[in-house]
Amino acid sequence: MKSMLKMHGLTLAGLFLAANGGVMIYLAAGTIKYWADINWMDVIGEGGTCLILCVWLVMLLRGRPAGRVTRLLSLGLCFTAFSMWMDMLDEFIRLPPEAIWDNWLETAPMPVGMLLLTLGMYHLQQEQRAINAQMSKREQLFREHRLFDTLIPLAGAQYLRQHLRQALEQAETEQRPLSLIAIDLDDFSQINQRYGQAEGDQVLQVMAQLLLFNLRQQDMLCRLAGDRFVAVLPDTGESQASVMAEDMRQSIASLAHRTQRYGERLHLQATTATIMALDEDEAQVLKRLNTALALAKPRLARSA
Ligand SMILES: Nc1nc2c(ncn2[C@@H]2O[C@H](COP(=O)(O)OP(=O)(O)OP(=O)(O)O)[C@@H](O)[C@H]2O)c(=O)[nH]1
């Protein structure tokens, strides 16, 4: 709240002053209505709309960084909220019949606000396109940020299952192959034990970045659980997926990760497994992938 006031205090102060100014002007020019003369339906409709617009304004200012889009949208909301506020005031204050300026105060800010909101929405759409391009390896077929992990900025198992269901349908409709890679760090629990949970978190974050670098634009990476990641690769056969999995394994093995505390070098190793989706649902695909990974684990341990 503090940072919002610091960044957008001027906008909020402007709206507050304009709303107060409106009350002053109406009070100076008119008389307060009797209780019985107040049309409460209008008060609820106009006042409620004004209140909701103010709530949207606060949500917008709290949720977005400062910049052109935020400025345009917040100004648009301020103008429309002010228009509704002025509209509501005449339910409480009776102005002389010859006054026509109040129509201007009620009506004129509305189209200005709508115009600013439209401009803001246009630039928001442009901004969203740029963000979508950056996010494409993390979310594709739908957006549900409740399913995103805050520690490692990737979607989790629930998102993976929903994404996979849609990707399987798409692959079947288009008659194209779909492959999956599972990547699991070896002996990750030892990193936690030896260097602490915070260092383990750091390793997972670095690993997620590294895996994203190894993927193409159309691929999608999720964190299935703990130190296990899954990449969904549309339009990809098993042999191509195996090559990509090996690249990922090697890039993890050659990563020179140093601990935050003493800067010791950690030698990370990962096991990967690759499968191509057959005529099966997402639960069967994931089960087969997990089995393939479990089979790959002991093989690595034996060869070490
Ligand atoms: N730091 C950290 N650790 C986590 C997180 N989620 C799970 N873990 C830990 O990850 C470890 C996973 O253990 P295992 O599944 O045995 O994996 P592993 O030690 O790599 O063993 P193998 O996979 O058999 O090589 C557990 O010790 C969990 O406590 C997390 O978000 N952060």
Is 286 found in the same domain as 158?
Answer: yes
| Residue 162 within a domain | yes
Neighbour-count burial for 48-70, b at 16+ CB within 10 Å, e otherwise: ebbeebbeebeebbeebeeeebb
Question: In 3D, which of 102, 91, 105 has the Cα closest to residue 32?
Answer: 91
Residue 205 maps to which CATH number? 3.30.70.270
Q: Which of 99, 117, 135 is the last residue of a domain?
A: 135
Contact 87, 61 (CB under 8 A): no
Q: Which of 23-37, 38-52, 126-140 has the lowest mean pLDDT?
A: 126-140
Is 298 found in the same domain as 151?
Answer: yes
**How many other C-beta atoms are found inside a 10 Å radius of the C-beta of residue 29?**
14
pLDDT-derived band of residue 74, with 50, 70 and 90 as boundaries?
Answer: very high
Question: In 3D, which of 238, 154, 224 has the Cα closest to residue 183?
Answer: 224
Is 104 found in the same domain as 227?
Answer: no
* Cβ-proximal residues to 52 (8 Å cutoff; 6+ apart), any chain: none
pLDDT digits (tens, 9 = 90+) for 242-276: 999 999 999 999 998 999 888 888 999 999 999 99
| Residue 273 within a domain | yes
Which residues have C-beta atoms less than 6 Å from ligand 1?
151, 184-189, 192, 197, 200-201, 204, 226-227, 297
Match 């709290």 to its residue by tokens. Answer: 62
**pTM (two decimals):** 0.70
Say whether pLDDT at 303 is over 60.
Answer: no
Over range 165-186, report the average pLDDT. 95
Give the residue whose CA is nearest to atom 8 of ligand 1.
226
Is 162 found in the same domain as 198?
Answer: yes
Is 126 found in the same domain as 102?
Answer: yes
**How many other C-beta atoms are found inside a 10 Å radius of the C-beta of residue 272?**
23
Question: How much helix, strand and coil, in percent to the nearest 5, is found in the chain?
Answer: 65, 10, 25
Is 266 found in the same domain as 118?
Answer: no
| Residue 221 within a domain | yes
Domain tally, the chain: 2
Is 79 found in the same domain as 106?
Answer: yes
pLDDT of residue 23: 94
Backbone angles phi, psi at 28, to 5 degrees: -70, -35
Say whether pLDDT at 302 is over 60.
Answer: no
Contact 243, 251 (CB under 8 A): no
Contact 177, 240 (CB under 8 A): no
Q: Which of 135, 157, 187 is the last residue of a domain?
A: 135
Is 149 found in the same domain as 266?
Answer: yes
Is 187 found in the same domain as 217?
Answer: yes
**Which has more pLDDT, 136 or 3?**
136
Contact 230, 222 (CB under 8 A): yes
**How many other C-beta atoms are found inside a 10 Å radius of the C-beta of residue 134?**
8
**How many other C-beta atoms are found inside a 10 Å radius of the C-beta of residue 178?**
23
pLDDT digits (tens, 9 = 90+) for 128-158: 888 877 777 777 777 777 777 777 788 889 9
Give the residue, out of 187, 188, 267, 271, with the most ligand 1 atoms within 8 A of its beta carbon, to mutate for a pocket test. 188
- What is the span of the domain harbouring residue 123? 2-135
Is 165 found in the same domain as 299?
Answer: yes
Report the complex ipTM. Answer: 0.93
Is 149 found in the same domain as 298?
Answer: yes
- What is the token pair recorded at 108? 């004129």
Q: How far is the CA of 190 from the centre of ligand 1 (A)?
A: 8
Is 66 found in the same domain as 131?
Answer: yes
